[in-house]
Amino acid sequence: MGMIDFQEKSDLVSMPKVKTSRKVTDRVVKVVIIAFFGLALLPLISLLTTVITRGVGRFDPTFFSSSMRGVVGAGGGAVHAIWGTLLITGTALIISAPIGIAAAVYLVEYGRGKLAKLLTFLVDVMTGIPSIVAGLFAYAVFSIILGPGTRSGVAGSIALSLLMIPVVIRSSEEMLRLVPGEQREAAIALGSPKYRSIWRVILPAAAPGIVSGVMLGICRIIGETAPLLLVAGFTDSMNLNVFDGRMATLPVFIYSQWQNKGTDSVAYEGRAWSAALMLIGIVLIMNIAAKLIAARTQKVR
Amino acid sequence: MMTLTTTEKTTFTASKISVSNFSAYYGRFHAIKDINMVVEPRAVTALIGPSGCGKSTMLRSINRMHETLPGARVEGSIRLGAIDLYGADVDPVAVRERIGMVFQRPNPFPTMSIKENVLSGVRLQGNRIGKSDGDDLVEMSLRAANLWDSVKDQLAKGGASLSGGQQQRLCIARAIAVKPDVLLMDEPCSALDPISTAAIEELIANLRREYTVVIVTHNMQQAQRVSDTTAFFHIDGPGLPGRLVECGATTELFSNPKESATADYIAGRFG
Ligand SMILES: Nc1ncnc2c1ncn2[C@@H]1O[C@H](COP(=O)(O)OP(=O)(O)OP(=O)(O)O)[C@@H](O)[C@H]1O
Ligand SMILES: [Mg+2]
């Protein structure tokens, strides 16, 4: 075999040989790639199955209707933590979305020169802030304003905003840059002031992408534990006022259930897993929704 | 700030455009130099010349779109009637309100319906318009753009759902809905098929009754078909600025060019 054989045989005879060997290589490579892909998926699948199998046990009406007030051992639920997560994340969203989108509009539509470069640099730095540092910052700010040791939901929201704003800026910036320059020119040539062309033409064109970016930003912060542990604290009972007092959240709930198992540790672990299942569910749904919204825009273009 | 009352607007309407000692730059690159020409009102003026000679630059200077590019600047003056469009107290946004533009590639707003596209200029200029006034304006503008009959039953559909030629006519309707005095068109047919091109040319012939039209075209038959006056731009070599070689009545320029460069170009010897 080899070169000499190859030359002696006619092309027609020798060609299939080359093909089979390539086919074999192809198949081997394919199998290896699929194997590695499976390997990479394994932790994810194992994580999902673990959370689901351990979480469904306490995924019951009581879990969604009662708090942990006065509960020792079995029973109780996480409704206070669910509300806390919704309120704190919602407030963080109200703070982050306008600031992040405005900053992105500035960077894309107006930003030239030093200020824009500085802002871009700051966003890069902010992207890398460890979440505990964001928590410490919020803690310090609220200690100065309201006295040391005060805890509230809104302090948590501010800490989370520090983490969410750079995500919103980055994704919105990308979406705004995708709006074709022709659209800007068309608006300006119609006698539109720049601000109005941004409001009526550019933002509507980028809106679905911006929305899906904001949703990914929410996914980024909704599972944060450390900063909330610092500034929002923890409580066993319901608190619907973000401006006053400690507020439980799902991640902190998980942590505290796991950390303070009493003698009936199974009950505490069950609640922790159910809260984890809930959290993963929210993130999964948000991710899928964001993908769907983004896909729909691409179709429109 | 150039504010225009209705009386001013009427004087404006039949105003000619005078370009004098005009130069335009992209950063340090001198794109067109020493342009002097007059654009007659309510007539069609064609700008022709080889690629890169500065036709688009000239056109975009008339409605002050040129300066929206970073580093772009101009020298000299362009007047519309008595108003110096580059005067220190003139707001470029007000200039663009009076001088509309149609681009080479149709660019309707994809997030808006056909109807909203037609009304977009009114709204982008900060004016409110009532429902019945809006409906009238939409019909009038689409009729003027020869598009009404084919889209009147689908006004709520997206502007991007139309064919290329229809999109371009939608863009023309959008431009004339704000009732400008001048309409600038930069190769409006070059992305279109022959039938759409014929439709747009017919449209231009109608528009000249009410508007001053300046059109850039690469197609010399088109220039002869649609224009009253033709301006021939040329570039003497790479890196050099474009200049206006000659400008005159279209029939005269094509049958009896004064300059040899013009004669060579229209004979198809270069460009
Ligand atoms: N945005 C820009 N930045 C820098 N240079 C530019 C820019 N646009 C055009 N130019 C240059 O200016 C000169 C004139 O360009 P212009 O687009 O006005 O030519 P044109 O006559 O319209 O050409 P065409 O027929 O190909 O459209 C060319 O040399 C071109 O390279
Ligand atoms: Mg051009």
pLDDT digits (tens, 9 = 90+) for B171-220: 999 999 999 999 999 999 988 888 889 988 998 998 888 899 999 999 99
Query: Average model confidence (pLDDT) for chain A?
Result: 89
CB distance A200–B123 less than 8 Å?
Answer: yes
Instruction: Give me the pLDDT at residue B8, please.
Output: 45
Residue B100 contacts A, CB cutoff 8 Å:
yes
Which residue's CA lies nearest to atom 29 of ligand 1?
A: B52
CA B236 to mean position of chain CA atoms: 25
Tell whether the model's pLDDT for residue A10 goes beyond 60. no
Res. A298 pLDDT band, cuts 50 70 90: low
Which helix (H) or strand (E) covers residue A5, if one does? helix A3-8
Return the CATH number at B210: 3.40.50.300
Which helix (H) or strand (E) covers residue A203, if one does? helix A203-222
Contacts of A297 in chain B (CB under 8 A): none
Res. A16 pLDDT band, cuts 50 70 90: low
B72 vs B192, which has greater pLDDT? B72
pTM reported for the whole predicted model: 0.85
* Among B139, B122, B102, residue whose Cα is nearest residue B179: B122
pLDDT (tens digit per residue) in A263-296: 889 999 999 999 999 999 999 998 898 888 877 7
Res. A2 pLDDT band, cuts 50 70 90: very low
Contacts of A205 in chain B (CB under 8 A): 109-111
Residue B23, in any domain of the structure: yes
Looking at the structure of chain B, the number of domains it has is 1
Residue B69, in any domain of the structure: yes
Tell whether the model's pLDDT for residue A198 goes beyond 50. yes
Instruction: Give me the pLDDT at residue A1, please.
Output: 44
Instruction: Give me the pLDDT at residue A291, please.
Output: 86
Q: Are A203 and A173 in contact (CB under 8 A)?
A: no
Instruction: Give me the pLDDT at residue B9, please.
Output: 45
The SS3 assignment for A213 reads helix
Percent of chain B with pLDDT over 90: 80
Query: Average model confidence (pLDDT) for chain B?
Result: 90
Q: Which range marks the domain in which residue B11 is found? A: 6-266
Instruction: Give me the pLDDT at residue A23, please.
Output: 85
User: Around Cβ B36, how many Cβ atoms within 10 Å?
Assistant: 12
Residue A186 contacts B, CB cutoff 8 Å:
yes
Compute the distance between CA of residue A162 and CA of residue A143 in angstroms, rounded to an integer: 17
- Which atom of ligand 1 has the smallest separation from the CA of B54? 18
Q: Are A231 and A254 in contact (CB under 8 A)?
A: no
Q: Are B54 and B22 in contact (CB under 8 A)?
A: no
Instruction: Give me the pLDDT at residue B10, please.
Output: 44
CB distance A201–B94 less than 8 Å?
Answer: no
Instruction: Give me the pLDDT at residue A17, please.
Output: 61
3-state secondary structure chain B: CCCCCHHHHHHHHCCCEEEEEEEEEECCEEEEEEEEEEECCCCEEEEECCCCCCHHHHHHHHCCCHHHCCCEEEEEEEEECCEECCCCCCCHHHHHHHEEEECCCCCCCCCCEHHHHHHHHHHHCCCCCCHHHHHHHHHHHHHHCCCHHHHCCCCCCEHHHCCHHHHHHHHHHHHHHCCCCEEEEECCCCCCCHHHHHHHHHHHHHHCCCCEEEEECCCHHHHHHHCCEEEEEEECCCCCCEEEEEEEEHHHHHHCCCCHHHHHHHCCCCC
Tell whether the model's pLDDT for residue B226 goes beyond 60. yes
Is the CB of residue B244 below 6 angstroms from any atom belonging to ligand 1?
no
Q: Are B117 and B145 in contact (CB under 8 A)?
A: no
Contacts of B186 in chain A (CB under 8 A): none
Instruction: Give me the pLDDT at residue A261, please.
Output: 87
Tell whether the model's pLDDT for residue B6 goes beyond 60. no
Is the CB of residue B109 below 6 angstroms from any atom belonging to ligand 1?
no
Res. A297 pLDDT band, cuts 50 70 90: low
| Residue A60 DSSP label | S
Interface mutation target, options A190, A198, A296, chain B, most CBs of B under 10 Å: A190
Query: Taking the CA atoms of chain A, what radius of gyration do you get in angstroms?
Result: 27
Average pLDDT over every residue of B68-91:
93
Report CA(B54)–ligand 1 centroid distance (Å): 6
- Which of A112, A186, A193 faces B107 most closely, judged by CB atoms? A186
Average pLDDT over every residue of B49-77:
95
- Measured CA to CA in angstroms, residue A51 lies from A84, A270, A273, A279 at distances of 22, 10, 6, 10
Average pLDDT over every residue of A179-192:
95
Res. A18 pLDDT band, cuts 50 70 90: low
Contacts of A192 in chain B (CB under 8 A): 93, 96, 121, 124-125
Nearest ligand (C-alpha, residue B29): 1
CB distance B93–A197 less than 8 Å?
Answer: no
Contacts of A191 in chain B (CB under 8 A): 93-94, 96-98, 100, 121, 124-125, 178
Instruction: Give me the pLDDT at residue A62, please.
Output: 92
* Among B185, B167, B164, residue whose Cα is nearest residue B227: B185
Report CA(B113)–ligand 2 centroid distance (Å): 29
Residue A187 contacts B, CB cutoff 8 Å:
yes
pLDDT (tens digit per residue) in A125-164: 999 999 999 999 999 999 998 888 888 999 999 999 999 9
Compute the distance between CA of residue B2 and CA of residue B87 in angstroms, rounded to an integer: 9
Average pLDDT over every residue of A74-91:
94
Which residue's CA lies nearest to atom 18 of ligand 1?
A: B54
Res. B239 pLDDT band, cuts 50 70 90: confident
Average pLDDT over every residue of A12-21:
63
Residue B1, in any domain of the structure: no
Tell whether the model's pLDDT for residue A19 goes beyond 80. no
